[in-house]
């Protein structure tokens, strides 16, 4: 029989009058409905007869009744062909209720055995057991284990696993699972088998197996307590040379977590496997991390410096989950930020320590503004600990991850580093081996520090980016900072209460340029608050939210010349960067709203940055980049994306023309970076080289084309090559075609580089890009089944505003069609493209109506997944 859970779980609801009411709304799952599991599963033995066409899975669950009740055991299962059920050795007739397998049990404990068949080759969702480039692998978070076997698929059921794998020896010479290998041997008919044991109880979402023809980069790490851990990075043989950077990052991460958080690794081996078809970045399965190839394989010739940094960050992130996520896990999926917010904060700390802290912080804030602020301001806004969901896969969001990390960072700012560390020590000690909640984390912080975080908890329950209005008042040698906070309404949360907002503040002498007194951290806790500053002898400028101490939008009343001065000389480099961005945004937004474009102040600031002897090149590259179009759109009421693009281009042209000498000089100097070096200095130089090239191209297309062609031809790193290619592609014409042709031919066999080839072309601004994207979709190298390839094309197109927001709405229609087509194969990945259509409230009425129409078109599609349905219906709301 074929047990398919979701269909029977559907509740028919007429959700929107006016829509052809075919859509059935899946029921929402609510945080407040949490109940402890009826049955626990302390032990699991699994046996896999692996075959891509049809795999047999036998499961033996030792179950125990949890508490006094007479409810049966209910097991989740999805797309499983059930072959048999036994209870304490005796066959029983299977019974299903609401898509679950129901097993009636009399005593306090039982052994329940099931046998199922699954079809890895047919698994295009990439959840459960699937095939990727000849490798069999699994993905279980959040609810994929139910696609492998019948099980209580929830994170608060922790089990000890024994796993037997058997497969054809020739096709699958390597057999991996969580934990330690304990036995292996040869089986019948050319098969072999391996037995693995994981001594640590874990939730089933951390289960993993891999089978394939894999080569290993082997190394080891000696832990602080003197144990030796075998490290393995498993890839296709040909990819072995590209695993060195990931291996170094892994060893750095092991050492960093010992030094900074006092966390040691707990098994004798740690394996990473790279697969090319993967819905997200990577997965922290206990002792057997599975990665998207894009976050493992890298060398300077085929990966940009940004790619290489991302590899290190993701390797560290997944490793850090071993404590923040695995040893201490989540009680339910509403607590996702418990592990993700904390682990992102930990990987950010790692990156800050490995590179330049200021530059890392700028990047983090850029990501937050590009991905999280729009989410928090739109129809999909949710607190970092959501209250309800239809499909949990939709809640792996920038809010849960990145805003979640900002919330942890604020706790550290409020407590100070020592008390924060006491808090994490207590958290890990108190909850080791448990499945817990965000509340448990905050309580550990309170108990270890003695600081009351009562009001601070609102960061977990209230959505929306707070706005802080700031005005510095100066009278009689004294200053007073007037603050006001305002948390905007979000879906389901009309009225908000004041948040606790830690603001690092310094006053800067308008004449001296020096900090007047020490920086202080102001805790804004009420709707309005006045902070006195004593004895300010000279006019002062306000440097506020330094280091981005709180994830808020600052609206400061500025004096004439204040932002310019801060952009030129704020001693805090993050604040200095911010002032530059504020200056650029001020003049761009004024022009978009209809004023004449004023370029003098921005040109002067960019010129000073380029000529500075003190600033490092990476900072310069960040500081000379204009705010993104998407960010400007967020600040406008009903924007015309075409106009936003034109005004921003005019500013880029003015910079390119006004500073052509400074830019050329910087571009040339930056070309001297050692291509073999991955030092912060060398990476910064290459970043500056790309940024200056782009501005030179904006100033004079002919000059830009010549320089870019030369940079492309002489490129020794992908960083240089890709930035040259992007500049050429933006300028268009023969040189662009020539370079794109060369790029394709040169890297035809390297899937990750061909993704870049698609991405570059889909990121070219302007209305003509859609035709290009449509043609690329018919290119032989395009496939919808590979998430990286689909993201390269659709993801980049949808995040290029002047291309996506074509006035005729054709960009929206294309995206809607693409979502509908992708949904049939892979709902999780398809759903990721819905959000851009949901930003219609920010866009002028003509286009907004077309965006809504595209969402309605999606919702009319019969058989839509829960994933896409949830996001598309909420986006219309
Ligand atoms: N837990 C993974 C991480 O952030 C993300 C992930 C979620 C991967 C769901 C796959 C599926 O580290
Ligand atoms: Zn994670």
Q: Is 396 in the pocket of ligand 1 (CB under 6 A)?
A: yes
Q: Is 340 in the pocket of ligand 1 (CB under 6 A)?
A: yes
> What is residue 3's predicted lDDT score, i.e. its pLDDT?
37
Enclosing H/E stretch for 138: strand 135-139
Statement: residue 23 has pLDDT above 70:
no
Residue 255 CA to its chain's centroid (Å)? 24
Closest CA relative to residue 239, chosen from 277, 207, 200, 213: 213
Contact 403, 372 (CB under 8 A): yes
Give the chain's count of helices (H) and strands (E): 31, 32
Name the closest-CA residue to atom 9, ligand 1: 141
> What is residue 25's predicted lDDT score, i.e. its pLDDT?
83
Closest CA relative to residue 764, chosen from 792, 795, 803: 803
128, 284, 296: residue to mutate for ligand 1 pocket, most atoms within 8 A of CB: 284
16: confidence class by pLDDT, cuts 50, 70, 90: very low
Task: Give the mean pLDDT of the chain.
Answer: 96
DSSP, res 19: S
Distance between CA 184 and CA 675 in Å, rounded?
45
Contact 856, 816 (CB under 8 A): no
Burial class (CB in 10 A: 0-12, 13-18, 19+), 679: exposed
Burial class (CB in 10 A: 0-12, 13-18, 19+), 61: buried
List pLDDT tens digits, range 367-405. Answer: 999 999 999 999 999 999 999 999 999 999 999 999 999
536: confidence class by pLDDT, cuts 50, 70, 90: confident
Statement: residue 5 has pLDDT above 80:
no
Q: What is the mean pLDDT of residues 71-95?
A: 98
283, 319, 348, 867: residue to mutate for ligand 1 pocket, most atoms within 8 A of CB: 283
Ligand 2 center to 553 CA (angstroms): 26
Contact 586, 326 (CB under 8 A): no
Phi, psi for residue 671 in degrees, rounded to 5:
-70, -10
Distance between CA 298 and CA 291 in Å, rounded?
13
Q: Is 283 in the pocket of ligand 1 (CB under 6 A)?
A: yes
Distance between CA 613 and CA 591 in Å, rounded?
32
Distance between CA 16 and CA 709 in Å, rounded?
54
Closest CA relative to residue 57, chosen from 174, 226, 177: 177
Distance between CA 103 and CA 86 in Å, rounded?
9
In this structure, which ligand is nearest to the CA of 346? Answer: 2
Angle between helices 680-699 and 701-713 (to 10 degrees): 140
Closest CA relative to residue 615, chosen from 569, 655, 558, 578: 569
List pLDDT tens digits, range 208-261. Answer: 999 999 999 999 999 999 999 999 999 999 999 999 999 999 999 999 999 999
In this structure, which ligand is nearest to the CA of 282? Answer: 1
Q: What is the mean pLDDT of residues 320-347?
A: 99
Ligand 2 center to 318 CA (angstroms): 6
Closest CA relative to residue 290, chosen from 210, 370, 223: 210
Ligand 1 center to 342 CA (angstroms): 14
Spell out the SS3 assignment of 178-208. CCEEEEEEECCCCEEEEEEEEEEEEEHHHCC
Which is the closest atom of ligand 1 to the Cα of 340? 4
Statement: residue 810 has pLDDT above 50:
yes
DSSP string over 221-288: EE-TTS-EEEEEEEE-GGGGGGGHHHHHHHHHHHHHHHHHH-----SSEEEEEEES--SSSEE--TTE
Ligand 2 center to 468 CA (angstroms): 30
In this structure, which ligand is nearest to the CA of 405? Answer: 2
List pLDDT tens digits, range 175-201. Answer: 999 999 999 999 999 999 999 999 999
Statement: residue 479 has pLDDT above 70:
yes
832 vs 12, higher pLDDT: 832
Tokens of residue 857, six digits: 């078109």
Which is the closest atom of ligand 1 to the Cα of 127? 11
125, 153, 272, 396: residue to mutate for ligand 1 pocket, most atoms within 8 A of CB: 396
Single pTM value for the model: 0.97
Ligand 2 center to 322 CA (angstroms): 10
User: What Rg, from alpha-carbon coordinates, does the chain have?
Assistant: 28
CA angle, 568 as apex, 567 and 574 as ends, to 5°? 50
Statement: residue 4 has pLDDT above 70:
no
Distance between CA 232 and CA 533 in Å, rounded?
56
Q: What is the mean pLDDT of residues 129-150?
A: 98
Q: Is 401 in the pocket of ligand 1 (CB under 6 A)?
A: no
Q: What is the mean pLDDT of residues 421-445?
A: 99
Phi, psi for residue 529 in degrees, rounded to 5:
-155, 145
Q: Is 347 in the pocket of ligand 1 (CB under 6 A)?
A: no
List pLDDT tens digits, range 776-794. Answer: 999 999 999 999 999 999 9
Contact 505, 556 (CB under 8 A): no
Residue 533 CA to its chain's centroid (Å)? 40
Helix (H, G, I), strand (E, B), or coil: what is residue 29? strand
Ligand 2 center to 272 CA (angstroms): 15
Statement: residue 307 has pLDDT above 50:
yes
Distance between CA 342 and CA 320 in Å, rounded?
9
> What is residue 399's predicted lDDT score, i.e. its pLDDT?
99
Which is the closest atom of ligand 1 to the Cα of 393? 9
Tokens of residue 540, six digits: 């002062």
Residue 868 CA to its chain's centroid (Å)? 19
Closest CA relative to residue 179, chosen from 155, 157, 206, 205: 206
Q: What is the mean pLDDT of residues 742-751?
A: 98
Q: Is 141 in the pocket of ligand 1 (CB under 6 A)?
A: yes
Statement: residue 89 has pLDDT above 50:
yes
Statement: residue 458 has pLDDT above 60:
yes
> What is residue 537's predicted lDDT score, i.e. its pLDDT?
83
Ligand 2 center to 333 CA (angstroms): 13
280, 325, 393: residue to mutate for ligand 1 pocket, most atoms within 8 A of CB: 280
Count CA atoms within 13 Å of residue 783 on its CB side: 10
- Considering all CA atoms of the chain, what is the largest pairwise distance in Å, rounded to the nearest integer? 92
Ligand 2 center to 317 CA (angstroms): 6
List pLDDT tens digits, range 621-673. Answer: 999 999 999 999 999 999 999 999 999 999 999 999 999 999 999 999 999 99
Q: What is the mean pLDDT of residues 282-295?
A: 99
Tokens of residue 293, six digits: 């190839």
Which is the closest atom of ligand 1 to the Cα of 142? 9
Q: Is 285 in the pocket of ligand 1 (CB under 6 A)?
A: no
Tokens of residue 113, six digits: 């055995």
Query: Which residues have a catalytic role annotated?
Result: 318
> What is residue 423's predicted lDDT score, i.e. its pLDDT?
99
Helix (H, G, I), strand (E, B), or coil: what is residue 474? strand
Q: Mean pLDDT lowest for which of 6-10, 161-165, 416-420?
A: 6-10
Closest CA relative to residue 423, chosen from 399, 403, 453, 393: 453
Q: Is 143 in the pocket of ligand 1 (CB under 6 A)?
A: no
Phi, psi for residue 231 in degrees, rounded to 5:
-110, 135
Q: What is the mean pLDDT of residues 866-874?
A: 98
User: Is the complex ipTM higher than 0.90?
Assistant: yes
Which are the contacts of 238, defined by CB distance < 8 A and separation ≥ 6?
A: none
DSSP string over 25-91: PBPPEEGGG----SEEEEEEEEEEE--SS-EEEEEEEEEEE-SS--PPEEEB-EEEEEEEEEETTEE
> What is residue 9's predicted lDDT score, i.e. its pLDDT?
30
Name the closest-CA residue to atom 2, ligand 1: 283
């Amino acid at each position: 029989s074929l047990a398919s859970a979701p269909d029977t779980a559907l509740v028919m609801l007429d959700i929107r009058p006016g829509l052809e009411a075919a859509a059935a709304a899946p029921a929402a799952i609510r945080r407040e409905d949490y109940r402890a599991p009826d049955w626990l599963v302390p032990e699991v033995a699994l046996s896999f007869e692996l075959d891509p066409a049809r795999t047999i899975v036998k499961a033996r669950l030792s179950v125990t009744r949890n508490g006094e009740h007479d409810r049966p055991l209910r097991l989740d299962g999805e797309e499983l062909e059930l072959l048999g059920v036994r209870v304490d050795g005796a066959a029983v007739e299977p019974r299903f209720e609401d898509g679950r397998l129901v097993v009636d049990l009399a005593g306090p404990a039982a052994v329940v055995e099931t046998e199922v068949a699954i079809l890895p080759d047919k698994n295009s969702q990439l959840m459960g057991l699937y095939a990727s480039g000849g490798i069999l692998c699994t993905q279980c978070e959040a609810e994929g284990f139910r696609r492998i076997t019948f099980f209580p698929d929830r994170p608060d059921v922790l089990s000890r696993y024994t796993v037997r794998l058997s497969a054809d020896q020739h096709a699958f010479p390597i057999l991996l699972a969580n934990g330690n290998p304990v036995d292996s041997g040869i089986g019948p008919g050319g098969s072999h088998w391996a037995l693995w044991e994981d001594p640590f109880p874990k939730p089933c979402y951390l289960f993993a197996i891999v089978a394939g023809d894999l080569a290993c980069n082997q190394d080891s790490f000696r832990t602080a307590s003197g144990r030796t851990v075998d490290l393995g990075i498993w890839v296709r043989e040909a990819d072995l040379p590209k695993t060195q950077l990931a291996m170094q990052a892994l060893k750095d991460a092991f050492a960093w977590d010992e030094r900074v958080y006092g966390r040691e690794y707990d098994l004798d081996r740690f394996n990473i496997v790279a697969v090319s078809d993967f819905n997200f970045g990577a997965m922290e399965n206990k002792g057997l991390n599975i990665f998207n190839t894009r976050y493992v394989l890298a060398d300077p010739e085929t990966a940009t410096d940004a790619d290489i940094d991302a590899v290190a960050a993701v390797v560290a992130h997944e490793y850090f989950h071993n404590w923040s996520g695995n040893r201490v896990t989540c009680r339910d999926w509403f607590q996702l930020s418990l592990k993700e917010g904390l682990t992102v904060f930990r990987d950010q700390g790692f990156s800050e320590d490995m590179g330049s802290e200021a530059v890392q912080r700028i990047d983090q804030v850029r990501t937050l503004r590009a991905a999280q602020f729009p989410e928090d301001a739109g129809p999909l806004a949710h607190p970092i600990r959501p209250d309800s969901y239809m499909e949990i896969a939709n809640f792996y969001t920038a809010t849960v991850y990145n805003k979640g990390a900002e919330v942890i960072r604020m706790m550290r700012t409020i407590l100070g580093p020592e008390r924060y560390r006491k808090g994490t020590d207590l958290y890990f000690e108190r909850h080791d081996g448990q499945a817990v909640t965000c509340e448990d984390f905050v309580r550990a912080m309170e108990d270890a520090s003695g600081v009351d975080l009562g009001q601070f908890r609102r960061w977990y329950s209230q959505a929306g980016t707070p706005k802080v209005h700031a005005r510095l008042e100066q009278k009689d040698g004294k200053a007073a900072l007037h603050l006001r906070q305002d948390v905007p309404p979000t879906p389901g949360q009309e009225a908000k209460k004041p948040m606790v907002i830690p603001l690092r503040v310094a006053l800067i002498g308008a004449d001296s340029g020096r900090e007047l007194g020490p920086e202080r951290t102001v805790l804004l806790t009420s709707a309005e608050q006045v902070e006195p500053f004593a004895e300010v002898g000279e006019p002062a400028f306000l440097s506020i939210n330094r280091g981005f101490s709180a994830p808020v939008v600052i609206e400061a009343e500025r004096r004439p010349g204040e932002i310019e001065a801060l952009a030129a000389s704020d001693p805090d480099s993050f604040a200095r960067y911010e002032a530059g961005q504020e200056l650029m945004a001020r003049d761009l937004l004024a022009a978009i709203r209809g004023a004449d474009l004023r370029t003098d102040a921005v040109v002067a600031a960019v010129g000073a940055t380029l000529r500075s002897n003190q600033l490092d090149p990476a900072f310069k590259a960040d500081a000379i980049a204009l705010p993104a179009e998407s960010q400007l759109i967020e600040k406008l009421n009903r924007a015309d994306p075409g106009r936003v693009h034109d005004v921003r281009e005019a500013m880029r042209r003015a910079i390119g023309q006004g500073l052509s000498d400074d830019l050329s000089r910087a571009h040339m100097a930056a070309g001297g970076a050692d291509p073999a070096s991955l030092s912060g200095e060398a990476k910064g130089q290459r970043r500056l080289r790309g940024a200056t090239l782009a501005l030179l191209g904006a100033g004079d297309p002919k000059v830009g084309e010549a320089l870019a062609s030369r940079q492309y031809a002489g490129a020794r790193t992908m960083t240089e090559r890709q930035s040259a290619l992007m500049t050429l592609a933006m300028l268009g014409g023969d040189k662009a075609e020539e370079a794109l042709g060369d790029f394709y031919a040169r890297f035809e066999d390297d899937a990750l580089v061909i993704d870049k080839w698609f991405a570059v072309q889909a990121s070219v601004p302007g209305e003509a890009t859609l035709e290009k994207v449509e043609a690329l979709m018919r290119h032989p190298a395009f496939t919808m089944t590979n998430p990286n390839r689909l993201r390269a094309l659709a993801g980049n197109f949808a995040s290029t505003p002047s291309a996506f927001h074509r006035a005729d709405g054709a960009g929206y229609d294309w995206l809607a069609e693409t979502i509908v087509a992708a949904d049939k194969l892979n709902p999780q990945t398809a759903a990721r493209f819905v959000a851009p259509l949901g930003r219609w409230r920010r866009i002028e009425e003509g286009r907004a109506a077309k965006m809504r129409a595209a969402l309605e078109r999606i919702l009319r599609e019969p058989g839509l997944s829960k994933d896409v349905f949830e996001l598309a219906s909420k986006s219309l709301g």
